[in-house]
Amino acid sequence: DQQVKQNSPSLSVQEGRISILNCDYTNSMFDYFLWYKKYPAEGPTFLISISSIKDKNEDGRFTVFLNKSAKHLSLHIVPSQPGDSAVYFCAARGGGPGGGADGLTFGKGTHLIIQP
Amino acid sequence: DTEVTQTPKHLVMGMTNKKSLKCEQHMGHRAMYWYKQKAKKPPELMFVYSYEKLSINESVPSRFSPECPNSSLLNLHLHALQPEDSALYLCASSLTSNYEQYFGPGTRLTVT
């Protein structure tokens, strides 16, 4: 039972253009969503997050949008740079009986490739 | 300092060995986590410690034994592991369980 889904295993975008990574979830108890970036042989690096009471959060080139009614969130990166090439994980928190003390539930990741 | 450190980076152990993974953070975070990540899969939560108390154990076999000796340290004791336990073991911490988690680089474990 996959509660957080990233349906695109990979995405190729030209340098300078916008990258849009998508994520869907099924558990309406999730209250906090995060995006992580991961390079091979390294731990995930926190990028940006959004609370379920908001619909948008922006930090520099990164913007996360949340559509609660559709149970969908997306990460926009603009402009895309070669260093953005990595695996991006969508994660959600709060879906279990522990409430805020839960760990994160991750999607399977999307491999973003920025082409020069 | 936003660093979570993990030692060792790599570990090879036999099925009869006992070993420990270590995780440390000096950010004053009071929640710490262990995750397991198999190749081409997302990280999966194993344990959550909140204020040095185990709050979540995601049905992890008893051959994995976590320990939180103080607010900066988190250990994972390993005993009688199986080859299928080979994976990247990630430690993370957050200010409290309501904040974003910061991950260490992981320990690559191979069980032979």
Residues A54-102 have pLDDT tens digits of: 999 999 999 999 999 999 999 999 999 999 999 999 999 976 554 455 6
**3-class SS at A75?**
strand
Q: How far apart are CA A6 and CA A23, in angstroms?
A: 5
pLDDT at B84 over 90: yes
- pLDDT exceeds 70 at position B42: yes
Residue in A42, A46, A106 nearest the CB of B100: A46
Cβ–Cβ contacts within 10 Å for residue A67, how many? 11
- Listing DSSP states for A20-75 in one string gives EEEEEE--TT--EEEEEEE-TTS--EEEEEEETT-SEEEETTEEEEEETTTTEEEE
- In chain A, whose CA is at the least distance from the CA of B30? A101
Contact map slice: B 3-42 vs A, CB within 8 A: 4, 6, 31, 33, 35, 41-42
- Start-to-end CA distance of chain B, whole Å, equals 36
CB contact under 8 A, B42 and A103: no
* pLDDT score, position B1: 57
What confidence tier does A40 reach under pLDDT thresholds 50, 70, 90?
Answer: confident
Contacts of B35 in chain A (CB under 8 A): 103
| Chain A CA closest to residue B41 | A108
